[in-house]
Amino acid sequence: MLHSHFFDSVANQPEQPALWVDERFYSYREIETRARRLSARLARFAASHDTGRCLLFAHRSVDAYVGILGILDAGMAYVPLNPKMPAARIAAIIRQSGAPLMLVDEACAASLDEVLSLVDDPPRILRFDAGAHDSRPSSTALHMQKRRAACDVAYILFTSGSTGAPKGVPITHANADAYVKGQLQIVDKVRDARYMQLCELSFDPSVHDMFVCWANGGCLYVPENVDPVGNAAFVQTHRITHWSSVPSVAGIMQQMRKLTPGAFPSIRVSMFGGEPLPRSLAQAWMRATPNGRLLHMYGPTEATIACTCFEVTPEFLEDPQHTVIPLGRGLPGVELMIVDAALEPVDAGQTGELLIAGPQLADGYLSPDDPGNSRFITMTYPGMSAHRWYRSSDAARQTSRHGFVFQGRLDTQVKIRGNRLELEEVEHVVQMSSQAASCAVVPWPLDEVGRPTGLVAFVTNPEIESALVLRACRLRLPVYAMPQRIVVIDAFPLTVNGKIDRKALVAYCARGEVAA
């Protein structure tokens, strides 16, 4: 079970620090005591309501981490809600989750009324109370745990959806446990490990930060503010040993001249994922972390955090042709295939769609009617043991030296600062807000390696007020999915098949006809 990685470390080192948050340390025993007490409260509710899901509406406080462990220990799956998201999006996730219970911390209580006003059948609210912070052992909690199986869901994360609504991805204990154990095989244990968590709990790398850290008996450090400029000082002050982030975070640090040679001698392992890692950034990071390994990870939420790994070496970076870091090879147990449009294997070195299989693969989306479930397919390939695969919609090719190499997307899904989103979701919101007959959103501008850093929306309604449309988007979309500009266009360029020519729209942006 996923949470067993934490509780096993409690048994081995109860007095060691497990968490640093809100400017103080919490030992493994202290977090365990709080989590077990909360587990007892949750288990009583779950037993009487026959529920397996609990929403977690909390900032990155000690309550949030106790909440995750308590929910799991009570035999339930946690559904994290990002307090930084618009109320409408949080409400949409609450409705789709079907969870009858929501655990709320004090910081989120103020915005609770606004969120619940948008939900017809709101869940029951449970607050973190004084009892949850009692450090005395709870004799009841140990007897209230519901027996669970590895095939049960551990958590549900919501990703961008093409219909304007986020879609849930249930990840089982078996999926998550396979990932954690795979990480323990590729990264050696570090004495007094100090992991730093930069992402929100609704972003799946948070699962890596928490449970790989605790499986290693390390301490998870949670900065109050995620500030790329302040990150450097935080790493140095707390002697962080394990770093994990999207490349964009390190890119801003590089721009602010924080990646000076030898800046972070304490770091032993760095992991980047969520978007392409440019060669120039990898070089700067390796110079700043002279005592560490640099790993590039890849994987969709549907395959549990990451499913491939490539270790970057100075020798690899010496070749100027290596402008972007490869995806590498599959983690232990993961199988990968490159296929054509007919799902047939392509010839060696040819580009096609990347298929993913193995114990980390989710069973499907939360809604059985979600059209995305068609991306989970059953196929048998020579030399492969898997029969069930996920169509990633990522184009890739396989090389003998470096494993798999990313070649772009095959659909309208993009990543902005490491956050996955469907362009169709943004288009849906823009079109509803502008009443435009047609709408298209394209990624622009692009950075030095062709990675999108923003969005531009094109519409065909000349009477719209761009400021009002942007305001409506701000209420329904996360910050990273906000268009930077609304551009009115007389008619859309079309492809020979009569579809909107998105490449032509990007070309307009590139020629300066649309300001970045």
pLDDT at 164 over 70: no
Q: Are 396 and 276 in contact (CB under 8 A)?
A: no
**CATH architecture of the region 413-510:** 2-Layer Sandwich (3.30)
Per DSSP, the residues of 25-89 read EEEHHHHHHHHHHHHHHHHHHHHHHT--EEEEE--SSHHHHHHHHHHHHTT-EEEEE-TTS-HHH
Structure token pair of residue 285: 């990071």
Q: Given this model, what pLDDT does residue 497 score?
A: 56
pLDDT at 106 over 60: yes
Q: What backbone torsions phi and psi does residue 163 show, to the nearest 5 degrees?
A: -105, 15
Of all residues in the chain, what percent carry a pLDDT higher than 70? 93
Q: Given this model, what pLDDT does residue 131 score?
A: 47
pLDDT, greater one: 359 or 511: 359
Q: Are 263 and 291 in contact (CB under 8 A)?
A: no
- Give the three-state DSSP class for 179: helix
Q: What backbone torsions phi and psi does residue 271 show, to the nearest 5 degrees?
A: -125, 130
Q: Mean pLDDT throughout 338-367?
A: 95
pLDDT, greater one: 158 or 49: 158
Q: Mean pLDDT throughout 139-165?
A: 70
Q: Given this model, what pLDDT does residue 135 score?
A: 46
The model's pTM: 0.85
**In this predicted model, what pLDDT tens digit does every residue of 123-144 receive, in sequence order?**
999 998 644 444 444 444 443 4
Q: Which range among 121-130, 141-150, 156-165, 416-425 shows the weakest confidence by mean pLDDT?
A: 141-150
Domain 4-226 belongs in CATH node 3.40.50.12780:
yes
Instruction: CATH 3.40.50.12780 in the chain: give the residue spans.
Output: 4-226
pLDDT band at 382 (very low <50, low <70, confident <90, very high): very high
Mean pLDDT of the chain: 89
Q: Mean pLDDT throughout 304-316?
A: 96
Write the CB contacts of 459 (distance below 8 Å, at least 6 apart in sequence): 430, 431, 434, 436, 438, 439, 469, 486, 487, 488, 489
pLDDT at 337 over 60: yes
pLDDT band at 146 (very low <50, low <70, confident <90, very high): low
pLDDT band at 161 (very low <50, low <70, confident <90, very high): low
Most confident of 17-21, 420-424, 453-457: 17-21
Instruction: CATH 3.30.300.30 in the chain: give the residue spans.
Output: 413-510
Q: Mean pLDDT throughout 274-298?
A: 92
**In this predicted model, what pLDDT tens digit does every residue of 10-47 receive, in sequence order?**
999 999 999 999 999 999 999 999 999 999 999 888 77
Q: Mean pLDDT throughout 75-85?
A: 94
Q: Given this model, what pLDDT does residue 138 score?
A: 47
Q: Given this model, what pLDDT does residue 103 score?
A: 96
Q: Given this model, what pLDDT does residue 143 score?
A: 39
Q: Are 414 and 456 in contact (CB under 8 A)?
A: no
Query: In terms of DSSP H, where are the helices of 197-304?
Result: 205-207, 213-215, 228-238, 247-255, 279-288
**In this predicted model, what pLDDT tens digit does every residue of 457-511 receive, in sequence order?**
998 878 888 999 999 999 989 999 999 999 998 878 877 555 678 889 999 998 8
Residues comprising the chain, all counted:
516
437: DSSP letter: S
